[in-house]
């Protein structure tokens, strides 16, 4: 975002969410919305993440559990198909991985610096049911 001088900033630090009127916003998907620069959607607010969820598309059953439970709308899902993680907003809380019901899990927490492709190539096998 462009830095503005004191005479240019909005009085009272009142920040608009969208660049246009947003009466129908509820019917628009995020990528269709005209977010303002001052909207947190357009900024990374995940700088302090230590662990990140990695998503394995091959195991996912699109149950939407992670989407429902994510406290920061960082699970990207369209038409009930899970697309992945919004790493600009995910804080790494791990709730999505915790509530994932598949076996093995489709979401697993790794260190922030771990490489996603490497982690996906080492994904755990299905656990056998204990008798």
Partner 1 sequence: MAREKEEGKVMAEKLKLQEVEVWDGNMAFAQAMRQAQIDVVAAYPITPSTPTVHGYAKFLSDGYIDGEFVLVESEHAAMSGCVGAAAAGGRVATATSSQGFALMIEVLYQASGMRLPIVLGLVNRALASPLNVNGDHSDMYLGRDAGWIMIDAFNAQEAYDLMLMGFKIGEDLSVRLPVIINQDGFITSHTAQNVKPLSDDTAYNFIGDYKEVNPMLDFAKPITYGAQTEEDWHFEFKARQHKALMDSSKVISDVFEEFKSLTNREYKRVESYLMDDAEVAIVALGSTVESAVQAAKDLRKNRGIKAGVVATRVIRPFPIKEVAEALKNVKAIATLDRSAPGGTMGMLFNEISAALYQSESRPVISNYIYGLGGRDMTQADIKEVYADIVKNAKAGKLVTPLQQFSGLRGPKLSFFN
**Interface positions with partner 1 (CB under 8 A):** 3-9, 11-18, 21-23, 25, 38
Q: Which is nearer to partner 1, 19 or 64 (CB)?
A: 19
Instruction: Please say whether the beta carbons of 92 and 109 come within 8 A.
Output: yes
Q: Which is nearer to partner 1, 13 or 113 (CB)?
A: 13
Q: Which is nearer to partner 1, 8 or 121 (CB)?
A: 8
Q: How many CA atoms lie within 13 A of 75 on its CB side?
A: 26
Q: How many C-beta atoms lie closer than 10 Å to residue 80's C-beta?
A: 9
Q: How many C-beta atoms lie closer than 10 Å to residue 45's C-beta?
A: 14
Minimal distance in Å, beta carbon 27 to partner 1? 14
Instruction: Please say whether the beta carbons of 76 and 89 come within 8 A.
Output: no
Q: What is the residue whose two structure tokens read 């996906």?
A: 120
Minimal distance in Å, beta carbon 6 to partner 1? 4
Q: Which is nearer to partner 1, 23 or 48 (CB)?
A: 23
Q: What is the residue whose two structure tokens read 């009142």?
A: 14
Instruction: Please say whether the beta carbons of 87 and 105 come within 8 A.
Output: no
Minimal distance in Å, beta carbon 53 to partner 1? 25
Minimal distance in Å, beta carbon 104 to partner 1? 39
């Amino acid at each position: 975002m462009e830095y503005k001088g004191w005479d240019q900033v909005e009085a009272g630090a009142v920040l608009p969410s969208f660049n246009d009127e947003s009466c129908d916003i509820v019917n628009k998907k995020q990528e269709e919305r005209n977010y303002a620069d001052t909207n947190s959607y357009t900024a990374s607010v995940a700088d302090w993440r230590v662990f990140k969820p990695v998503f394995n598309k091959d195991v996912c059953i699109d149950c939407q559990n992670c989407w429902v439970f994510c406290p920061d709308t960082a699970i990207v899902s369209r038409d009930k198909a899970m697309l992945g993680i919004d790493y600009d907003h995910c804080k790494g809380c791990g709730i999505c991985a915790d509530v994932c019901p598949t076996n093995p899990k489709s979401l697993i927490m790794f260190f922030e610096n771990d490489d996603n492709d490497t982690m996906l190539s080492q994904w755990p096998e299905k656990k056998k049911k204990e008798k």
